[in-house]
Structure 1
Amino acid sequence: MTTATKARVLDHPSRAEIRLEGVLHALSDAVRLRIVSDMARADGAELSCSFFDLPVTKSTRTHHFRVLRESGVIEQVYRGTAKMNVLRRDDLDALFPGLLDTVLRATEVQDARRDD
């Protein structure tokens, strides 16, 4: 693998390395929760970082995606020049059954309450 290729590979925790406290921390931020909700609705599709309409600067957006990746919530891969993102639903469901669905449902309830 060349240095240029190696630099384009991002580190992710293995399934065994994913920790509940890291996942909960990642999901505790409104912007990151919005990213995860959008990814859950995409049902396993890879989404580019530019797909997400977020009210933050590019550097802050990068930070949020890094927190999600390093906690094991998402996987990021380069496809050409685009960084693609996918929710690690299978890993999260295997490690913490029902957690992701519960958080996503609670987010929907909260959003509906705010809209009323």
Structure 2
Amino acid sequence: MTSWIQLHCRRLQRMKIWPHVTEKTIQMPLYEHPDSSEIALLPLLRALADPIRLEVVRHLARVDYANCAALLGDRPKSSMSHHFQVLRESGLVKTDVQGVQHLNALRRAEIDARFPGLLDAVLRD
């Protein structure tokens, strides 16, 4: 089966818009996430100390996943990109790339297993 990336590459090559495009140059980046055993308390608390990141975590706690556009609000993409990076590196959020969509999910089960009661306490209004 031909992937959408392969089809898009062939289309761009045929149109001579970008003749040297390959699947590797067009594919969206994959993100690295810490293993659940590597998640540490201090980075988690630092990530949650920011009001914007706390708002993102609260939103993700109410839904299974959300794309970046749903979480941007009226904030600049560049600052939100930084906030998502901090959340990913702390282990709070997992970002999966599906096509051009970046789907974010709270790693609730892993955080609860590592630090029982932490998210419940933080997410209380």
Deviations 1:59-116 (A, max 9, x none): 00110011000100000010110110000000100010000010010xx1xxxxxxxx
RMSD: 1.7
C-alpha displacement at 1:6, in angstroms? Answer: 7.5
Distance 1:90 1:36 in 2: 14
- TM normalised by structure 2 equals 0.76
1:1-116 map, 5 Å: 3-4=24-25, 8-42=29-63, 45-105=64-124, 108=125
Say which SS state the counterpart of residue 69 (structure 1) adopts. Answer: helix
Pairwise CA distance, 1:46:
1.9
Identity %: 41
Amino acid at match of 1:10: Y
Q: After TM superposition, give the deviation of residue 56 of structure 1 in Å.
A: 2.2
Unaligned runs of 5+ in 1: 109-116
Alignment coverage as a number of residue pairs: 103
Flag structure 2 segments of 5+ consecutive residues without an equivalent. Answer: 1-22
